[in-house]
Amino acid sequence: MSPSRTVRVETDGALATVTLARPDKRNALTRDMLEELGAALQSLADDPGIHAVLLRADGPAFCAGVDLGVLRELAGAAEDVFRTFVDLAQRPYRLLATMPKPTIAAVQGHALGGGFQLALACDLRVAATDASFAMLEARHGLIPDLGGIHHLARIASPAAAKDLIWTARSIDGAEAHRLGLVDRLTDPAALDDAARALAAEILAHSPTAVALVKGLVTRTFETPLVETFGHEADAQAEALRESLDG
């Protein structure tokens, strides 16, 4: 693949910062951008020296969602062409949610549609007070298909997911924080510092333990309590071995 033009990756020790870099288009996601983002995240997921990933964006908006030009292209596409694009588009969302490393989104301005879902795919979200969030798919007769329904229902509630998706209404940072969709709210000028400070708090602890907790929490809604005890015991044994070896 040629060097990325729309996604920038920088590393500082064990922290990797991935920046959406199409500010003139409010970081709307094109086919190339989704491919570049997926490739960058896969590389970071596979890198043993990276223990946390921070997702941020250049410009006044976090992400305006999938570029409307892409949606117009898909409107008359054959089923196999559509499915190929969906696989491409879902890849970065899946990686953010499932890589065995904490992922943090730093959100300013608009996070709309696919942009909202991109933030939801991360483990934690730090948002500026000027942030706004909306699932706009209903306005186009569509549904969120990048994991947003799954995350909204689990992070907030099934009713909140239906409300936000059915009405396509916008919520500000304060309401998102009240719903649990934002973990930390901060002044816009302090957003990057706040997100990096949160990452530093996490990086201060065992990456093995952090990864094990991510896996356990992810499976919580699908695993009965009695079975969870067994998974926790296995994870604790692995964490203890790592601690003793260190």
Question: Domain holding 150: CATH number?
Answer: 3.90.226.10
Both 74 and 105 in one domain: the answer is: yes
Give the pLDDT band of residue 3 (cuts 50, 70, 90).
low
Q: What pLDDT, in 10s, does the model give residues 24-63?
A: 999 999 999 999 999 999 999 999 999 999 999 999 999 9
Q: Would you give the end-to-end CA distance of the chain in angstroms? A: 38
Both 166 and 75 in one domain: the answer is: yes
Give the pLDDT band of residue 112 (cuts 50, 70, 90).
very high
pLDDT greater than 60 at residue 82: yes
Q: Which residues share a beta bridge with 7? A: 20
Amino acid, single-letter form, for residue 12: D
Q: Please say whether the beta carbons of 165 and 144 come within 8 A.
A: yes
Contacts of 79 (CB under 8 A, 6+ apart): none
Mean pLDDT of 175-185: 98
Contacts of 235 (CB under 8 A, 6+ apart): 212, 213, 215, 216
2 lies in some domain: no
- Asked whether the whole model's pTM tops 0.75, one would answer yes
Q: What pLDDT, in 10s, does the model give residues 152-177?
A: 999 999 999 999 999 999 999 999 99
Question: What is the total count of domains within the chain?
Answer: 2
Both 166 and 230 in one domain: the answer is: no
Domain encompassing residue 148: 7-202
Q: How far apart are CA 161 and CA 148, in angstroms?
A: 9
Q: Where are the beta strands (DSSP E) in 13-95?
A: 15-20, 52-57
Which are the catalytic amino acids?
Answer: 137
Q: What is the pLDDT of residue 1?
A: 40
pLDDT greater than 90 at residue 15: yes
The enclosing H or E element of 195 equals helix 191-203
Give percent of the chain above pLDDT 70: 98
Mean pLDDT of 60-78: 87
Q: Which of 186, 202, 218 is the last residue of a domain?
A: 202
Both 145 and 227 in one domain: the answer is: no
Both 76 and 112 in one domain: the answer is: yes
Q: Burial letters for 204-233: b for 16+ Cβ neighbours within 10 Å, e otherwise?
A: eeebbbbbbbbebeeeeeeeeeeeeeeeee
Q: Which residues share a beta bridge with 125? A: 105
Amino acid, single-letter form, for residue 88: L
Q: Which residue has the tokens 């960058």?
A: 40
Give the pLDDT band of residue 76 (cuts 50, 70, 90).
confident
Least confident interval from 54-58, 74-78, 177-181? 74-78
Q: Which residue has the tokens 């798919």?
A: 137
1 lies in some domain: no
Q: Please say whether the beta carbons of 56 and 195 come within 8 A.
A: yes
Q: Please say whether the beta carbons of 185 and 174 come within 8 A.
A: yes
Q: Which of 171, 187, 202 is the last residue of a domain?
A: 202
φ, ψ for residue 195 (rounded to 5)? -70, -40
SS3 186: strand
Q: What is the pLDDT of residue 217?
A: 95
Both 148 and 74 in one domain: the answer is: yes
